[in-house]
Chains A and B, each alone.
Chain A
């Protein structure tokens, strides 16, 4: 196996609030390998964004605080870098595509200027002409027509899809080794989403960057990701390559997520939602955080008392497959209804 680009070990991020300490990310460990797309899925508040933003120092501090862990990136622990060193990493070797392109571009600055800023922030010596050529090249890469004219325009003259293209161009401006896409298509309408995914793939091909794709859209994961992390209550509950996760999920939460999606190929009168609410991250239930909502637990004492470790599962798939369920073996033979590839395509 090749060296991972990013190696996160036992990361924990806490937010101090008036009501208590919110354990937004609680002991997360994973690797991202060169060129791969790692999908992170989970509900709102499961810690999927915080786990990546925190390693770049982009969570508000205070109240947020990285309490433990390490994040090895290009031979350095990001969590031990000074502010200045971390700034050199951001937008340079590790870049982010944000969720909402409508608000992520500065309304009073020209698109060309904003993209140029990203380059100048890291390559201050580059001449203005070179920067401009570079920016126009970037705009062309992400499929913005007439880049010379678009260079001089303001964000309000761009459509939503075009703005997200510009955001992607900004992210790949400095040839990052790792691209973090934080719900890149959530704010866009469905027809544009497919285009943006194409652009994202192009950007990946151009830069050979590894990608972390944060989303709650399982269809997007099926389309884009090579490996999947499922997060629940600040913890990883299941990890595996995308085919394994969809064909042979081995955590009741993953199964629940997939069951709650409508199926296009069959006539369904009812969806099966996951009962209950996500747990409060201040008063986490003891034992397995999912046990109050779990169809498998059914009041078993072990689920209540003992926190399940993330352990290897042999469900027949390729690569590493981890699940944090005491009774994962009981799910033998379970398969998600999304396993058929036609469905996965149809959802995006």
Chain B
């Protein structure tokens, strides 16, 4: 080792640290950090000392930082994210972008094809309602359903899966057999029955006055959590055997603390990826349900019921089906690509970027 120590710049906030490094680096060993502390720290300090000397600051990067940079370099996923955000913003600001309200009727332009006259970009239906506006409002409705479903089912699935996987035994059996039971139900049939039984009114929760779309969303969420529950249970079964979980146990952490503080952060990758899949699935299922007439009822616009409405006149008025259909395809595809990108980014073993 050579003399490379440099005096700390006076007044710099980390002057003492530089001093410590410098002394240490120059003398090679024997620095006491406090009485009784071990004295042989030199080998492990030199790299940070070196970094100081060469003017390089080693920036600590977390797993999340790595994942973020991998995701940002995933071109397809980033492109999809941009498109999805644009589409969702259109839905969110439908009131500002659309030239008409979703149920406004323009009697001068009934059954008009896509045209710029009177701003009917996506044409109108047989009542003279502007389809561009209806699609924008439809995006809003469908997105609400999708996010509600994905969040609720992820929370539900994660809770069930983590408790089943962590505790094992009879609780695991009980929860997983219940999950299997839900999985054996034919989803569309259950959805139809549930939707029919529950009606289409709005939900009144005192302060919250939720639209009919949340009723559909609730039904979907109660069916969609099973996939996530199975994934999370599998993850927890393997995480449970990890030594750091045993170490956490040995340091006196309780079960709930271990589940939420130690194991859940390790499962976030697959959970997030599954969440995107559920979101896409929810949009599709809601569309199917609305198409069948058991989802969201007109005049509220949802992408599914727009297609259903246009379906009878598809031969002559193709725009009634194509535009809402395309919107669904774009949204679902974008979400799936984003999910792909997230899966690649969150997998620490995958260093290469597929794009």
Contacts and interface: CB of A to CB of B under 8 A. Distances in A.
Interface of A: 56, 58, 87-92, 95-96, 98, 100, 103-110, 117-118, 121-122, 140-143, 145-146, 149, 152-154, 156-157, 159, 161-162, 167, 170-171, 173-174, 191, 194-195, 198-199, 202, 205-206
B272 to A, nearest CB: 13
B235 to A, nearest CB: 13
Nearest to B47: A159
Contact of B37 (A96, A103, A140, A146): A140
Contacts of A117: 248, 251, 253, 257, 261-262
A149 B331 CA distance: 43
B38 A198 contact: yes
B38 A195 contact: yes
A206 B20 contact: no
A150 to B, nearest CB: 9
Interface string B246-278: 111111111001000110011010000000000
Nearest to A155: B244
Given A106-B266, A143-B38, A118 B44 contact: no
A154 B34 CA distance: 24
A161 B244 CA distance: 17
Given A103-B244, A106-B262, A159-B44, A56 B254 contact: no
Interface of B: 17, 20-21, 24, 33-34, 36-41, 43-45, 48, 60, 62-63, 242-244, 246-254, 257, 261-262, 265-266, 268
Contacts of B253: 87, 91, 117-118, 121
Contacts of A105: 244, 247
Nearest to A106: B244
Contacts of B39: 143, 198
Contact of A195 (B17, B40, B257): B40
B20 A170 contact: no
Contacts of A91: 250-253
Contacts of B24: 145
A28 B63 CA distance: 45
A336 B41 CA distance: 35
A59 B242 CA distance: 14
A105 B248 CA distance: 9
B242 A152 contact: no
Given A140-B33, A154-B62, A157-B60, A92 B252 contact: yes
A174 B251 CA distance: 9
Given A108-B265, A117-B261, A145 B41 contact: yes
A156 B20 CA distance: 24
A141 B249 CA distance: 23
A44 B87 CA distance: 62
20 contacts: A87-B252, A87-B253, A90-B250, A90-B251, A91-B253, A92-B252, A98-B243, A98-B246, A103-B242, A105-B244, A105-B247, A106-B262, A106-B265, A110-B62, A140-B34, A140-B37, A141-B37, A170-B251, A171-B251, A199-B38
Nearest to B32: A143
B67 to A, nearest CB: 10
Contacts of B248: 106, 117
Given A117-B251, A145-B41, A104 B243 contact: yes
B247 A58 contact: no
A167 B265 contact: no
A198 to B, nearest CB: 4
B44 A161 contact: yes
Given A121-B257, A161-B44, A98 B250 contact: yes
Contacts of A118: 251-253
Contact of B33 (A98, A143, A173): A143
Contacts of B21: 145
B249 A58 contact: yes
Contacts of B48: 145-146
Residue with the greatest number of chain A CB neighbours at <10 A, chosen from B45, B251, B268 = B251
Nearest to B264: A108
B77 to A, nearest CB: 22
A138 to B, nearest CB: 11
A141 B24 CA distance: 17
A104 B34 CA distance: 27
Contacts of B43: 191
A224 B80 CA distance: 61
Contact of A202 (B36, B242, B247, B252): B36
B243 A103 contact: yes
Contacts of B257: 117, 121
B33 A152 contact: no
Nearest to B239: A106
B115 to A, nearest CB: 55
A166 to B, nearest CB: 11
A331 to B, nearest CB: 39
A109 B260 CA distance: 12
Nearest to A90: B252
A104 B249 contact: no
Nearest to A198: B38
